[in-house]
Each structure stands twice: as structure tokens, then as C-alpha cells.
Chain A
């Protein structure tokens, strides 16, 4: 049973466009993280959101955690080719320490 769904699965856009990707679950998580993974490399953490309704900004990236702590979104403004990659969300199920379940990812391609 996959606890986290991500949409869209694939996204190809032109440089300068805006986009939003979604991460949804029926489960409540103590936190949710977003990662970007490039080919041949491990995932790199972008942000952790903890509080329901929390919004965090990282330059052109805006992350929001749903009020019920079951879903999240990532919005990219004025996408650039350097944003190309696999975006993974991960929810922490752990009572102590971290036990993350990952979504299947959104593969983003930003064309120059």
C-alpha cells in the first residue's frame, strides 16, 4: 500500500513558466520533506515542514503543508533548466527518530 501519491508523475515545461506539484496521503505525518534527485545521485533535502498550514520559501520555491498534515504542495516560480530533476516528497511516520515513506516522485523537465 503506497501511503503517498504525487502528481503529476511527469511534467515538461518551458523556462520561465510556473508550476505546482502535489503530494497527497490519507495518513497524518509528523513532518513532510521535499527532496530533489538528479540522475546518478542521491536525493538532496530541499525543505522540512512540520506545522499544519506552514508555508516555507526557498528562493523561487514555495512549499506548503496542508492544515491536516496529510498533504503538501511545491510551487516553482519562473522555472529554470537547473530545476530539472525528480522531486520526491517523504512523510515521517516515526514516533521516535525518523521513518520516512517516500512518494513515487514527479519528474520535472524545464526546457530552455
Chain B
């Protein structure tokens, strides 16, 4: 009964490769997010989508491209991976009512290591 799931859990790859991380939520939520947590545990929002429409796009290199095929899925594709991309990437979802009190539910994270 996983609410927000991510695949893969771990991803080890070489610099310069292209990789994707998948996220799915079964909560019926309208809004989904991608966050990056660096080695110092600093969690930073990257993107958010509401009903497949991009609503937040923080200062993220354009090598990162989110794709939302439907409102239950938000995938993250990363081109030309760099050493600094190594981090844990979290997907999250919320009801998307627009209220500040909406609860965000986080996935278990994907640990990306770029060698």
C-alpha cells in the first residue's frame, strides 16, 4: 500500500550518462514535487507539477527535465550527469488544494551516485 513510490532506490552511474528516476503516487493527489537532498541533508525543492502542469521550477540546470505523463506520475530525467548531481532525490505529492496546510507525502528517496 505504498503511497508514494520511487524507482530505483539506488542508482550508481558514470559521469556523462543520462538517467531517469520514476515516481508514482496512489493517493489521488493533484500536485507532485521533486526535491534534492545533498550530503549535508539540506533539502531543496526542484520542481512541482499540478495536474501535469509545471508550477514551480527553481534554479535547476536544464540537464534536469521533469515529465508528467499523468497526474499520478512525475519522472525526472537527468542528462550528462555530473559529480555534483550525487544526492538523494525525493518525490512528494499533496492534494494540491492551494492551501498552505496541505500535507506533503514523501517517497523513500533515490540515492544517486555519480562516479
Number of B residues whose C-beta is below 8 Å from A? 27
Number of A residues whose C-beta is below 8 Å from B? 26
Asked if A94 is at the interface of the complex by the 8 Å CB criterion, the answer is yes
Asked if A44 is at the interface of the complex by the 8 Å CB criterion, the answer is yes
Asked if A100 is at the interface of the complex by the 8 Å CB criterion, the answer is yes
Closest residue on chain B to residue A42 by CB atoms: B106
Asked if A52 is at the interface of the complex by the 8 Å CB criterion, the answer is no
Alpha-carbon distance A32/B43, docked complex (angstroms): 15
* Residues on the B chain within 8 Å of A40, using CB: 108-109
**Contact flags B9-23 to A (C-beta < 8 A → 1, else 0):** 000000000000000
> Are the CB atoms of A99 and B109 closer together than 8 Å?
no
* Residues on the A chain within 8 Å of B94, using CB: 98
* Residues on the B chain within 8 Å of A96, using CB: 55, 98
Query: B96 is contacted by which of A44, A97, A99, A107 (Cβ under 8 Å)?
Result: A97
Alpha-carbon distance A98/B105, docked complex (angstroms): 13
Taking Cβ atoms with an 8 Å cutoff, the residues of B that contact A are 4, 31, 40-45, 48, 50, 55-56, 90, 92, 94, 96, 98, 100-109
Other A-B pairs beyond A30-B100, A43-B106, A102-B45, 7, CB < 8 Å: A31-B101, A40-B109, A42-B4, A44-B106, A92-B100, A97-B55, A99-B48
